[in-house]
Structure 1
Amino acid sequence: MPPKQNPDAPAAPDASDALDAPPTTKTPPEVIEFWQETKQTPEELAFYAPEYLCLTILAVILFFPLGLVAAYFSYKTMQDNKQSSWEAAYVNSGRTGWLNVFAILIGLGIIYYALLFS
């Protein structure tokens, strides 16, 4: 049986207002700093597109030209994630992933070819 509500009681605050409101003084300092940097809700943070940072570093090492293009798209993905531009972030994330894979495969192919025929 649900509890009875007092008709004279003030209305409960809207949940969306609480997410957009700045942290209170009881909030831990690291949460306040994070909120000031991103101003994104936890739901928005859950939609972050992957940036593939480790794969991008490996791609730059193994095949520099294609790795640099992948690094550019990884940077664009990071910027789109911060601006909550989810469609652009996921498009750039896909480009980053494919470019990383191709750069790593080309780099490994060059190493294999050099070792095989040297």
Structure 2
Amino acid sequence: MDTDEQGAPGRKPLDRPQTPDELKFYARNYVMLALLAMILFLPFGILAIYFSIQTNEANKCSNWEDAYRNSSRTMWFNMLAIVAFVGIIYILVLVL
């Protein structure tokens, strides 16, 4: 089986414009929240940016399963970054 048929990374965008029906399936990439996550807690923020980019690439290829999976991962890393930042601030306030 060819890797392109499996939806592996590195798949090329479509040679044609996407139809309006395909555009309705676009998964959210949460790029602005990922940038905020990168500012708040760098390790999780970098992962959030990575999965946000992967979401965009999957959307362009109409690979909806990967797009939604990466979108979910982006949101998880965004939330982890925010919780880690709040936890660090909370600990610093208790110590100081």
> Aligned-pair RMSD on alpha carbons?
1.5
One of 45, 50, 53 as aligned partner of 1:67? 45
Q: Is the aligned partner of 1:39 residue 2:21? A: no
Q: Secondary structure at the match of 2:29?
A: coil
Deviations 1:61-111 (A, max 9, x none): 111011101110000001100111100000101111111111110011112
- Equivalent AA in structure 2 for residue 76 of structure 1: Q
The match for 1:55 is 33
Structure with higher helix content: 2
One of 95, 101, 111 as aligned partner of 2:79? 101
Segments of structure 1 that go 5 or more residues without pairing to the other structure are 1-37
Indicate the percent of aligned positions where both proteins have the same amino acid. 52
Question: May I ask how many residue pairs the two structures share in their alignment?
Answer: 82
**CA separation in 1, counterparts of 2:23 and 2:90?**
41
- Name which one, 1 or 2, has greater alpha-carbon Rg: 1
Segments of structure 2 that go 5 or more residues without pairing to the other structure are 1-15
Bigger RCO (CA 8 Å, 6+ sep):
2
Task: List aligned pairs for 1:66-85, cutoff 5 A.
Answer: 66-85=44-63
Q: Secondary structure at the match of 2:43?
A: helix
Shift of 1:114: 1.3
Provide the TM-score with structure 1 as the length reference.
0.65
